[in-house]
Amino acid sequence: MLTWMLKATREYLRAGLFSLVTGRPGPSGFGSATTAKEVTEGIDASGLTVIITGGANGIGLETSRILALRGAHVIIGARNMEAANKARDGILEQCKTAKVDVLKLDLCSLDSVRSFVDSFIALDLPLNILINNAGVFSCPFQLSKDGIELQFATNHIGHFLLTNLLLDKMKHTAKTTGIEGRIVIISSICHIDPYKEGIRFDKINDPLGYTKMKAYGQSKLANILHANELSRRLQEEGANITVNSIHPGSVMTDIMKYNKTKMRILEITTRMIWKTIPQGAATHCYVALHPNLKGVTGKYYVDCNECKTSAMARDAELGKKLWDFSNKMIENQLSWA
Domain locations in the chain? 2-327
Mean pLDDT of 155-184: 98
From 210, 216, 258, 286, the catalytic residue: 210
Say what percent of the chain tops pLDDT 90.
Answer: 82
CB 147 within 8 A of CB 153: no
Distance CA 272, CA 118 (A): 44
| Local confidence band at 265 (pLDDT 50, 70, 90 cut-offs) | very low
| Local confidence band at 216 (pLDDT 50, 70, 90 cut-offs) | very high
Mean pLDDT of 146-174: 98
Helix axes 58-69, 81-94, angle to 10 degrees: 40
The closest of 122, 28, 128 to 70, measured between CA atoms, is: 128
Q: Which residues contact 33 (CB under 8 A, 6 or more apart)?
A: 19, 23, 279
216 is a catalytic site residue: no
Q: Per-residue pLDDT tens for 23-68?
A: 689 999 999 999 999 999 999 999 999 999 999 999 999 999 999 9
Q: Which amino acid is at 267?
A: E
Q: How many CB atoms lie within 10 A of CB 297?
A: 19
Please report, in angstroms and rounded to a whole number, the separation of the first and last CA atoms in the chain.
31
H, E, C per residue of 233-280: HHHHHCCCEEEEEEECCEECCHHHHHHHHHHHHHHHHCHHHEECHHHH
Which fold, 2-327? Rossmann fold (3.40.50)
